[in-house]
């Protein structure tokens, strides 16, 4: 029992995090209509992403400040275990996708450690129930204030390249119309392993401005693309449209839904740079929108995600083009 008691801060932290997540999630899944008595405005808020893990760390310190003494290793481990338990239970119960959990983890770890450190300092001087009660209410008190600020859209650009031992024609054929990609051809990238659907094919009705291109991914995900620029054997650019209502729920996590409130891919562009008669450099550039209260952070992850997707597509084009060159 003594050993179990030493972990009570972790259990309180996990319980607080799960209850807070359930309350904040009410508005995410009801368009804000259910949570009128305690408005939180969803999970993609500073109140949840930053203040809930901060309060989790405070609770870990409050319920076992002797264990979380700054002179002991447990001052780091207790808030970390609490956050790991919160995220682990959310993923295993199906309440959160792996991609979203991965993106949230660094913030949750940092803020919980900060909360634990500050909590040790506060509760060493004054360990009162009133003080901890006020501190754990911080996310809910801040949420209505945060909602007064309008989400700012920010446009990001991601550019990737690959060298291909092939001529322009073979590469051009492989970017204008991407034949079905088998599982053997697909290079399982990091975010695919985390749950992002793999690419299947891309169909284009005509290689001309105004042509319609359909990019198909696994689990029913697809994008409708309109060609905006064509320069034969050199450039193919297109606008990208995604209808969130047409995307199956199992295809993407809600908070990284393409065309949704927080994230959208806007444009794609292939450019062929000729190096020699049998070698080219293929460029793929995308533009995407983010609309979160912390674009500075989600932007980093979104660029990593887009780079991961684009590198996989370019590698498939390289393999196909070089195979055609040698045949």
Tens of pLDDT, residues 6-46: 677 788 899 999 999 999 888 655 444 444 455 667 888 99
Where does the pLDDT of residue 128 fall: very low under 50, low under 70, confident under 90, or very high at 90 and above?
low
Among 243, 294, 45, residue whose Cα is nearest residue 35:
45
CA distance readout (Å), 114 to 64, 69, 111, 170, 287: 16, 13, 5, 55, 35
pLDDT tens for 51-81 read 999 999 888 887 765 544 444 555 567 888 8
Sign of torsion, CA 229 235 239 242? positive
What is the rounded distance in angstroms from the CA atom of residue 276 to the CA atom of residue 165? Answer: 9
Partnered with residue 289 across adjacent β-strands are 155, 264
For the domain 154-326, what is the CATH superfamily, name and number?
A: START domain (3.30.530.20)
Where does the pLDDT of residue 163 fall: very low under 50, low under 70, confident under 90, or very high at 90 and above?
very high
What is the rounded distance in angstroms from the CA atom of residue 236 to the CA atom of residue 109? Answer: 42
CB 214 within 8 A of CB 224: yes
What is the rounded distance in angstroms from the CA atom of residue 318 to the CA atom of residue 298? Answer: 30
Is the model's pLDDT at 247 over the cut of 70?
A: no
Among 306, 298, 292, residue whose Cα is nearest residue 262:
292
For residue 63, what pLDDT is reported?
A: 75
Contacts of 197 (CB under 8 A, 6+ apart): 217, 218, 219, 221, 251, 252
Q: pTM of the prediction?
A: 0.83
CB 204 within 8 A of CB 184: no
Each domain of the chain, given as residue ranges in start order, spans: 2-146, 154-326
The dihedral over CA atoms of 139, 143, 149, 150, expressed in degrees to the nearest 10, equals: 110
What is the rounded distance in angstroms from the CA atom of residue 278 to the CA atom of residue 287? Answer: 30
- Structure-block tokens of residue 89: 């239970």
Among 30, 83, 103, 84, residue whose Cα is nearest residue 253:
103
The alpha carbon of residue 118 and the mean position of all alpha carbons in its chain are separated, in whole angstroms, by: 29
Mean pLDDT of 102-106: 92
What is the rounded distance in angstroms from the CA atom of residue 299 to the CA atom of residue 288? Answer: 10
Alpha-helix residue ranges (DSSP H) falling in 95-177: 98-125, 129-136, 138-146, 168-176
For residue 148, what pLDDT is reported?
A: 81
262-293 as b/e: b if 16+ CB within 10 A? bbbbbbbbbbbeeeeeeebebbbbbbbbbbbb
For residue 3, what pLDDT is reported?
A: 57
């Amino acid at each position: 029992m003594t050993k179990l008691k030493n972990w009570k801060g972790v259990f309180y932290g996990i319980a607080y995090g799960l209850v807070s997540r359930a309350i904040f999630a009410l508005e995410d899944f009801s368009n804000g209509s259910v949570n009128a008595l305690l408005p939180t405005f969803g999970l993609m808020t500073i109140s949840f992403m930053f203040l809930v893990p901060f309060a989790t760390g405070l609770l870990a310190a409050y319920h076992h400040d002797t264990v979380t003494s700054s002179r002991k290793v447990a001052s780091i481990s207790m808030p970390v275990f609490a956050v790991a338990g919160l995220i682990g239970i959310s993923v295993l119960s199906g309440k959160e996708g792996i991609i979203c959990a991965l993106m949230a983890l660094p913030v949750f770890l940092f803020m919980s450690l900060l909360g634990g450190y500050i909590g040790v300092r506060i509760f060493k001087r004054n360990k009162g129930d009133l003080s901890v009660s006020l501190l754990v209410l911080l996310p809910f008190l801040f949420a209505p204030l945060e909602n007064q600020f309008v989400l700012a859209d920010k446009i990001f650009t991601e550019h990737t390249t690959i060298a291909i031992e092939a001529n322009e024609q073979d590469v051009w054929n492989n970017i204008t119309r991407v034949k079905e990609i088998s599982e053997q051809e697909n290079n399982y990238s990091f975010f695919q392993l985390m749950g992002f659907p793999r690419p299947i094919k891309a169909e284009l009705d005509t290689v001309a401005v105004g042509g319609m291109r359909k990019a198909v991914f696994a689990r029913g995900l697809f994008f409708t693309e309109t060609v905006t620029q064509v320069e034969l054997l050199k450039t193919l650019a297109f606008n990208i449209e995604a209808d969130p209502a047409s995307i199956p729920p199992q295809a993407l996590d809600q908070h990284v839904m393409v065309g949704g409130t927080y994230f959208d891919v806007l444009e794609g562009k292939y450019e062929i740079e000729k190096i020699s008669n049998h070698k080219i450099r293929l460029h793929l550039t995308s533009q995407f929108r983010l609309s979160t209260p912390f674009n500075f952070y989600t932007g980093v992850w979104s660029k990593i995600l887009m780079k991961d997707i684009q590198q996989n597509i370019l590698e498939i084009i390289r393999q196909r083009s070089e195979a055609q060159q040698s045949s």
